[in-house]
Amino acid sequence: MVYTKFVQKNRGRGPANEKELEDFLNSLPQADLDAMGITDKSTVLISPRDGQRYGVVGKVDMTMMTGGGPRRERLGARTGRVTRPP
């Protein structure tokens, strides 16, 4: 959900890297976090499956994509597994 909100605010462009997405998350007002059901920002970019931080595929043009955008789990990246974004 955070990735999708970033893309909406940036005219279809995904974040350049993890830091840009994290900075965006930290800049969101509490009302936006509440609307997304986020109670703990520190867990949003962590995969519940493997406990590792998500990697961000940088600068993706999302204007032609559906499903919330690409992201990968660090361990899953070795297997080519792609997961849904937060």
How many helices (H) and strands (E) the chain has is answered by 3, 2
φ, ψ (nearest 5 deg) of residue 72: -140, 150
Task: Note the pLDDT of residue 56.
Answer: 84
Name the pLDDT band for 14 (thresholds 50, 70, 90).
confident
Q: How far apart are CA 14 and CA 63, in angstroms?
A: 10
pTM of the predicted model as reported, rounded to 2 decimal places: 0.69
More confident: 71 or 57: 57
How far is the CA of 12 from the CAs of 27, 29, 31, 46, in angstroms? 19, 21, 23, 23
Task: Note the pLDDT of residue 31.
Answer: 95
- If we measure between CA atoms, which residue out of 44, 53, 57 comes closest to residue 74? 53
Place of tokens 């990968």: 72
